Amino acid sequence: MLHNDQLEQWDRENFFHPSTHLAEFARGNLQQRVIKTGYGCHIEDRDGNKMLDAFAGLYCVNVGYGRPEIAEAIAEQATELAYYHSYVGHGTEASITLAKMVLDRAPDHMSKVYFGLSGSDANETNIKLIWYYNNILGRPEKKKIISRWRGYHGSGLMTGSLTGLELFHKKFDLPLAQVMHTVAPDYFRRDDLSQSESDFVAYCVAELEAQIAHEGADTIAAFIGEPVLGTGGIVPPPAGYWPAIQAVLEKHDILLIADEVVTGFGRLGTMFGSDHYGMRPDLITIAKGLTSAYAPLSGSIVSDKMWKVLEQGTDENGPIGHGWTYSAHPIGAAAGVANLQLIDTLNLVENAGSVGTYLNDTMRAALGDHPNVGDIRGEGMICAVELVADKDMRIFFDGSDKVGPQIAAKMLEQDNVIARAMPQGDIIGFAPPFCLTRAEADTVVAATSRAVTAVLG
Ligand code: PMP
């Protein structure tokens, strides 16, 4: 086995890490962590440190680490047929079975699934399909996409544009011209503190209406949103938000993309976030939970309404000019089939709902009264604790103290619990594997409590 010092040196010399402060890393000022193994909700590094991963990697290892059922399915597929493409009507038993399993679980009005590799490429696919759709319908000017500030939809050219976080735009010449952003549905962070929750929803709707009126509805193709804002701060929508937004979109013939990369396959305690909030999307983006990250695989689920137009398009123009070499990769598909079977067998959607609610309730009971805890929010197996400098006046820390990152670091240092300091604001995020037990939820809450006290008193 290679020595840790050797690995760390090679790491600094050769590895371009995503979402990392490159200069600090090269200077040796960022902790290097080489993860070796994982089982259930825990991972272990090369030094034998065992950590409870309360963020399931990047909220993706939904069934937990070390599942032999999925590992074996991957090995069998790799041995039998590691690869064949899915162009021009080709497929494998795994990819065809997985497509059926996805559609069986998706809302009834969905028709087909296109498989990609990452959440980012699935959203790129979605935008291309929407542009194609409007071209086939003879309205080439209807192309703009509305996203939300603090939405996260990937980091490609189009998807990085859709992402409503400044860090993903700054110095990259993004967002692209076809993309615009509207209000983040974050009631806690509303500008006007006198607004009730329903006033705030009315405000979000009015802002959207104004933007549509300003641009012209005939130029706007689609609206994209995560059922629960994820990377932008883990924010469930205020009551009534999705039905109200959807009514505006329907009125103006604007398509809805539900980006369910985080919420798909059970995280909210329902199979899809769209079911949870009564959304009726035209496209659904899936990734992470499709394979629980045992292999890279994503998908764009297409509604009946759009599918009919795509078929018409190919009658008029020839085969669809869109495809990746690795679309529906058999190894990813085999992992997906085994993963969805495991979710069913172990009732993991139900567990995500019940233990997730327990985690949220216990977190509220333990920290709700702390003077620097402004908000505790969540739904199913996702939860966030937002820290503030002054709770009564709702004054935020200015960011320079890095309170969120300090607390997450303390949790790891004191209790070996991994939470995520969300990239914007002082927000600690939790999105554990669905197999979390109540005892493990208690450990997560106790670690959070101890870290908040250690950092803020
Ligand atoms: N959409 C959402 C809602 C996400 O959370 C993410 C990833 N965190 C993506 C898209 C992009 O997925 P990927 O990182 O696999 O490209």
Give the tens place of pLDDT for each residue, 299-342.
999 999 999 999 999 999 999 999 999 999 999 999 999 999 99
What confidence category does residue 280 fall into, taking pLDDT thresholds of 50, 70 and 90? Answer: very high
For residue 151, the ligand 1 atom closest to its alpha carbon is: 3
pLDDT digits (tens, 9 = 90+) for 163-212: 999 999 999 999 999 999 999 999 999 999 999 999 999 999 999 999 99
Q: Is 259 in the pocket of ligand 1 (CB under 6 A)?
A: yes
The mean pLDDT of 262-278, rounded to a whole number, is 97
| Cα–ligand 1 centroid distance for 334 (angstroms) | 21
3-state secondary structure of 331: helix
C-alpha–C-alpha distance, residues 263 and 285, integer Å = 10
The mean pLDDT of 347-351, rounded to a whole number, is 98
pLDDT value of position 130? 98
In angstroms, the Cα distances linking 13 to 17, 27, 32, 34, 360 are: 11, 11, 13, 15, 42
| Cα–ligand 1 centroid distance for 293 (angstroms) | 12
Q: Is 119 in the pocket of ligand 1 (CB under 6 A)?
A: yes
pLDDT value of position 5? 86
Q: Hey, which of 120, 121, 224 would you mutate to test ligand 1's pocket, going by the most ligand atoms within 8 Å of its Cβ?
A: 120
For residue 260, the ligand 1 atom closest to its alpha carbon is: 3
- HEC secondary structure over 363-378: HHHHHCCCCCEEEEEE
Q: Hey, which of 62, 274, 288, 298 would you mutate to test ligand 1's pocket, going by the most ligand atoms within 8 Å of its Cβ?
A: 288
Q: Hey, which of 235, 262, 294 would you mutate to test ligand 1's pocket, going by the most ligand atoms within 8 Å of its Cβ?
A: 262
Asked whether residue 273 carries a pLDDT value surpassing 80, the answer given is: yes
Distance from chain centroid for Cα 342: 21
Q: Write out the residue limits of the CATH 3.90.1150.10 domain(s) in the chain.
A: 33-66+348-456
| Cα–ligand 1 centroid distance for 122 (angstroms) | 9
3-state secondary structure of 275: helix
Asked whether residue 1 carries a pLDDT value surpassing 80, the answer given is: no
| Cα–ligand 1 centroid distance for 41 (angstroms) | 21
What is the 8-class DSSP label of residue 48? -
| Cα–ligand 1 centroid distance for 455 (angstroms) | 31
Asked whether residue 408 carries a pLDDT value surpassing 80, the answer given is: yes
| Cα–ligand 1 centroid distance for 176 (angstroms) | 18
The mean pLDDT of 218-244, rounded to a whole number, is 98
Q: Write out the residue limits of the CATH 3.40.640.10 domain(s) in the chain.
A: 69-346
Asked whether residue 384 carries a pLDDT value surpassing 80, the answer given is: yes
For residue 154, the ligand 1 atom closest to its alpha carbon is: 11
Helices (H) and strands (E) in the chain, counts: 16, 15
- Name the CATH code of domain 33-66+348-456 (choices 3.90.1150.10, 3.40.350.10, 1.20.1260.10, 3.20.20.140): 3.90.1150.10
pLDDT value of position 2? 78
| Cα–ligand 1 centroid distance for 79 (angstroms) | 30
| Cα–ligand 1 centroid distance for 231 (angstroms) | 9
Task: Say what percent of the chain tops pLDDT 90.
Answer: 96
32 vs 343, more confident: 343
Q: Which amino acid is located at 122 in the chain?
A: A
Q: Is 225 in the pocket of ligand 1 (CB under 6 A)?
A: no
What confidence category does residue 261 fall into, taking pLDDT thresholds of 50, 70 and 90? Answer: very high
Residues 147, 178 contacting (CB under 8 angstroms): no
C-alpha–C-alpha distance, residues 180 and 169, integer Å = 12
Q: Is 382 in the pocket of ligand 1 (CB under 6 A)?
A: no
* Residues sharing a CB contact under 8 Å with residue 137, sequence separation 6 or more, in sequence order: 309
The mean pLDDT of 229-250, rounded to a whole number, is 98
Q: Whose CA is nearest to atom 12 of ligand 1?
A: 119
CB burial class (10 A; 0-12, 13-18, 19+) of residue 398?
A: exposed
| Cα–ligand 1 centroid distance for 261 (angstroms) | 6
Q: Is 231 in the pocket of ligand 1 (CB under 6 A)?
A: yes
pLDDT digits (tens, 9 = 90+) for 28-73: 999 888 999 999 999 999 999 999 999 999 999 999 999 999 999 9
pLDDT value of position 349? 98
C-alpha–C-alpha distance, residues 396 and 374, integer Å = 9
Asked whether residue 399 carries a pLDDT value surpassing 90, the answer given is: no
The mean pLDDT of 259-267, rounded to a whole number, is 98
pLDDT digits (tens, 9 = 90+) for 71-93: 999 999 999 999 999 999 999 99
Residues 115, 282 contacting (CB under 8 angstroms): no
| Cα–ligand 1 centroid distance for 194 (angstroms) | 34
Identify which of 201, 343, 213 has the alpha carbon closest to the alpha carbon of residue 277. Answer: 201
Span 69-346: which CATH code? 3.40.640.10
